[in-house]
Amino acid sequence: MGYELRVQRPAPLAFAELAAVLGQAGFEFRGTQEAGEILARHDGVVHVVAVWNGGLSGAPGSDWQVAQLARVSALLGARLVGEDGESYAIRDGLVEQLNGSTAYEFGTLDEILAAGPTVWSR
C-alpha cells in the first residue's frame, strides 16, 4: 500500500453508521462488517476508495480518490489525515490539503469528481 490516509474522529465508528452514510451518499460496500472495501463508480466502472477493518483508510492514487475519501470523512463528521499529519477537507466546494496554516487546493469537488480517477504520474 502506498501513502495512507485515515478517517479519524473522536467517537469510534460503528459499521451500521458507516453503512447508512455510504448508502445515502451513493457509495457501495463489498465485504463483511469486520472487513471490506468502500467503492465508488465513475463511468460505470467500480473503483476502491477505502478499506474498512474497524477503521477507514485508503491509499489514493488520484485526486478523485482523495476527493471521495474527503466526502466520506465529511459525511461521517470525521477528519481525513495523512501519515505526515496533514489533513484533507472539502471547504466551499474545494478539495484542500491543510498543513498547519498552509492550504493546497486540489480543485473544485465537482470538477475532480467529473474528471474521474486519473492516476497520478510518479
pLDDT in tens, 15-53: 999 999 998 888 999 999 999 999 999 999 999 999 999
Residue 86 pLDDT: 95
What's the rounded mean pLDDT across residues 72-92?
94
For the chain, list the strands marked E by DSSP.
Answer: 5-8, 28-31, 36-42, 45-52, 56-58, 79-82, 87-91, 94-99, 102-108
Quick one: pLDDT band at residue 1, thresholds 50, 70, 90? Answer: very low
Residue 121 pLDDT: 58
Residue 2 pLDDT: 61
Do the Cβ atoms of 67 and 107 come closer than 8 Å? no
pTM confidence score: 0.91
Residue 119 pLDDT: 76
